[in-house]
Amino acid sequence: MQISKFNLKGYVLLIFLIFTYFNSISQNKRIVDLYKRGQYERCLHKCNRQLRKKNNKSIANIYKSFSYYEISKDKKLNKKFKNSVYRSIKALSKLYSNKKAIFFIEKYSYRISEIRIEAENQAETLKTKAFYQKAIRIYRLLAKINSKKTNIYYYDIALCQLEIDRENEIHNTFKFILSNIKKKHTPKKKTDSIQDINMISKITKKLIELNQHEAALKAINHNKTIFPNNRNLRKINSALLLEYFIIYSKKKYCDIEKLYQMLLNFRLEYSESSKYKAVVKKIEKIHWQIKMINIVNKQRAKGYNDGTTIISPSPPLIWKNNLAKAAELHAKDMNHNDFCRHHGSGGSTLSKRIKSTGYKWFGIAENLAKGDNSVEEAIKKWMENKQFRKNLMHRRFRDFGAGKEGVSWVQNFGYGY
């Protein structure tokens, strides 16, 4: 009986496959046998050989992880194999990336949970010792292994990133956390949402403490998108914002327009609580500009009636930095050159001063005062003057800015386009 070349190749291939199959089984048995006998170094050597050959990756990875875990318990071996817990969890993460390894994950679930707990403890100790980069590496691997606790691990990553002051990475981590919450959050899981809210607020508070103002504000705004109607989060957010306002107001280059706009938005969203009023008073002591616009807006809302002149209430004004810049320049000029008039010492007019700041307007007005030591005194003087009172109470004006130098005060009003 003759055998064709085609059949011969087929038989050879079949024999080769049978040989490799039984060889891989014998290799797997050898790995398991070495591990059971406590020969962890040799077991690791066999696992690495199997992984290089790309044979039975699941068995090789799982026993590689177990071997490193056992090595971490032995003081002598642990010195030889540095970062054994990290290596153990790394091998496990590769197992989880393989979809075919579900059987092994279920079979060795108890052992895997032991390794995970050990890795969590290791990450915590690294955090306390200020090895934040190493802790982040472990948390990232843990997030791959335990999907139920992914968010918590990423919160820990964010807290480590805060300590090493990496603002961009914090934003990326925060976005990941929030997208995860969006996917998994359901109104029924109240305990989950409380845990998420507490962790988010913890990170945000840390951002405020570290003077990461922009990152903190972004974090607070992100919080609203996740749980828009949650009372607990509203309370936390309002408290964080008030804390943020005080810290921001103490900044060397504080933007008054931005600060006033944030205070206004807070009032519209959370209403005027006693805590808010206390914070505003603190800010008014730091920035007289906030005090002035608040007093002016209260006067406009109240209207004016002295028995002979009646002015109906007017809508509130909004602070504009360019109007304030023009007012400040003129206040300095008045104080240094000792005069009180609308024309500057260099021949500048109100329209020229405001035009130079880039403010585009339909109508403008200016109030001047000299010799007053406080905001209240200056406003009282303006309210006693017919023309200045008219400017301050005019319904068409929407924008406002003020400047002060010594005892010279300037207010600018405008409605722009």
Strand order in the sheet with 361-370: 318-319, 399-405, 408-416, 361-370
Report the candidate in 306, 261, 295 with the shortest Cα–Cα distance to residue 374.
295
Nearest to 297 by CA among 326, 263, 321, 328: 263
Contact yes or no for 409/370 (Cβ under 8 A): yes
End-to-end CA distance of the chain: 101
Helix (H) or strand (E) holding 310: strand 310-311
Packing angle of the helix pair 213-226, 231-249 (nearest 10 deg): 160
∠ CA(305), CA(308), CA(312), 5° rounding? 35
pLDDT tens for each residue of the chain, 417 residues long:
444 544 656 655 665 555 555 455 556 777 888 888 888 888 888 888 888 877 667 888 888 888 888 888 888 887 888 888 888 888 888 888 776 677 777 788 888 888 888 999 999 899 888 888 898 889 888 888 876 777 678 777 777 776 776 555 666 666 666 666 555 544 445 555 666 667 777 777 777 776 666 767 777 776 676 666 777 777 878 888 888 898 889 888 889 999 999 999 888 888 778 889 999 999 999 999 999 999 999 999 999 998 888 999 999 999 999 999 999 999 999 999 999 999 998 889 999 999 999 999 999 999 999 998 899 999 999 999 999 999 999 999 999 999 999 999 999 999 987
pLDDT, position 216: 74
3-state secondary structure of 360: coil
How far apart are alpha carbons 109 and 19 in whole angstroms?
A: 32
